[in-house]
């Protein structure tokens, strides 16, 4: 895989690189359990975000229920002390045949890209869980980072501007994940390094999908809003942060 070629547009899109202080803390083996736990939850939250977009803006009832059913076992395990599901069996249940349908070209583009994103994020979720199990790392609930909430605070409150801003936020979250996977990979053991580098292609595509959907639904050029959210994102990444998480700022 040509990692520099995949990463180049991501690094060009992001307003700043990850600070060295975050990388220094992340490469400490003592922080691996925390990072893997947070990474696993972030994959589920990414799937939830995509699901909410489909449900709110285009889904028919049957398709929305099918999407909810896909996520429920993951949510039960992660947030409600539910049993460890058979992730491989769950993954095989995901089928496009029950997906929401729409005659709207933009709506269909949203469904197609978000359903693929959900499928990939849930696959990554159990890959992270497998990595934890292989290293005898228990899953322990942790608080969320300030990052996603900090981004969403800047979202406008009337449609379609809300939707446009949420899609741009999604682009930044996916791009930052991609950049951090690449930054962290050199300091991980061989199997984890291979896994983290394998994530780059899908994360890089996800951020581009979000941007394309935002521009397609907007009557105006979204460049000023992208720049605005770049400033919000940079402030979160470059400012001191009391909590250490996958998307946290400079460790205090």
Q: What count of other Cβ atoms lies within 10 Å of the Cβ of residue 224?
A: 9
CA triplet 71, 192, 79: central angle to 5 degrees?
25
Q: Is the pTM of this model over 0.75?
A: yes
pLDDT tens by residue, 213-227: 999 999 999 999 999
Return the structure tokens found at 37: 């736990």
> Can you give the pLDDT at residue 121?
92
Mean pLDDT lowest among 61-75, 140-154, 174-188, 233-247 = 61-75
* CB contact at 8 A, 117 and 47: yes
Give CA–CA dist 55/65, Å, rounded: 9
Looking at the predicted structure, is the pLDDT value of residue 177 above 90?
yes
Give CA–CA dist 63/249, Å, rounded: 37
Average pLDDT rounded to a whole number, residues 44-61 = 89
pLDDT tens by residue, 150-169: 999 999 999 999 999 999 99
3 state SS of 250: strand
Give the DSSP H/E element, type plus range, for residue 26.
helix 20-26
Task: Please state the domain extents for the chain.
Answer: 3-251
Farthest CA pair distance, the chain:
51
Give CA–CA dist 75/96, Å, rounded: 21
- Rounded to the nearest 10 degrees, the angle between the axes of helix 200-217 and helix 190-198 is 20
Model confidence band, residue 108 (pLDDT cutoffs 50, 70, 90): confident
Q: Domain 3-251 falls in which CATH fold?
A: Ferritin (1.20.1260)
* CB contact at 8 A, 215 and 10: no
Mean pLDDT lowest among 16-20, 96-100, 159-163, 197-201 = 96-100
Give CA–CA dist 129/237, Å, rounded: 26
> Among residues 195, 191, 146, which one has the least CA distance to residue 173?
146
* CB contact at 8 A, 217 and 106: yes
> Can you give the pLDDT at residue 68?
87
Per the DSSP assignment, residues forming a β-bridge with 240 are 250
pLDDT tens by residue, 119-140: 899 999 999 999 999 999 999 9
């Amino acid at each position: 895989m040509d990692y520099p070629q995949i990463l180049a547009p991501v690094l060009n899109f992001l307003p700043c690189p990850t600070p060295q202080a975050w990388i220094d803390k992340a490469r400490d083996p003592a922080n691996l359990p925390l990072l893997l736990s947070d990474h696993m939850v972030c994959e589920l939250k990414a799937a939830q975000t995509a699901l909410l977009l489909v449900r709110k803006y285009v889904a028919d009832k049957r398709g929305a229920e099918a999407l909810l059913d896909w996520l429920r076992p993951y949510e039960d395990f992660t947030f409600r002390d539910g049993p460890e599901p058979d992730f491989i069996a769950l993954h095989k249940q995901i089928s496009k045949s029950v997906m929401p349908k729409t005659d709207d070209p933009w709506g269909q583009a949203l469904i197609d890209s978000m359903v693929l994103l959900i499928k990939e994020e849930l696959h990554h979720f159990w890959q992270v869980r497998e990595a934890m199990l292989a290293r005898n790392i228990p899953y322990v609930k942790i608080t969320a980072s300030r990052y996603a909430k900090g981004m969403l605070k800047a979202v406008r409150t009337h449609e379609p501007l809300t939707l446009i801003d949420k899609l741009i936020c999604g682009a930044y979250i996916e791009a930052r994940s991609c950049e951090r996977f690449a930054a962290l990979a050199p300091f991980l053991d061989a199997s984890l390094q291979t896994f983290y580098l394998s994530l780059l292609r899908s994360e890089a595509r996800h951020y581009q999908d979000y941007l394309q959907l935002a521009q397609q639904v907007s009557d105006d050029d979204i460049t000023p809003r992208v720049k605005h959210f770049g400033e919000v994102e940079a402030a979160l990444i470059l400012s001191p942060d009391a909590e250490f998480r996958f998307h946290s700022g400079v460790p205090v």
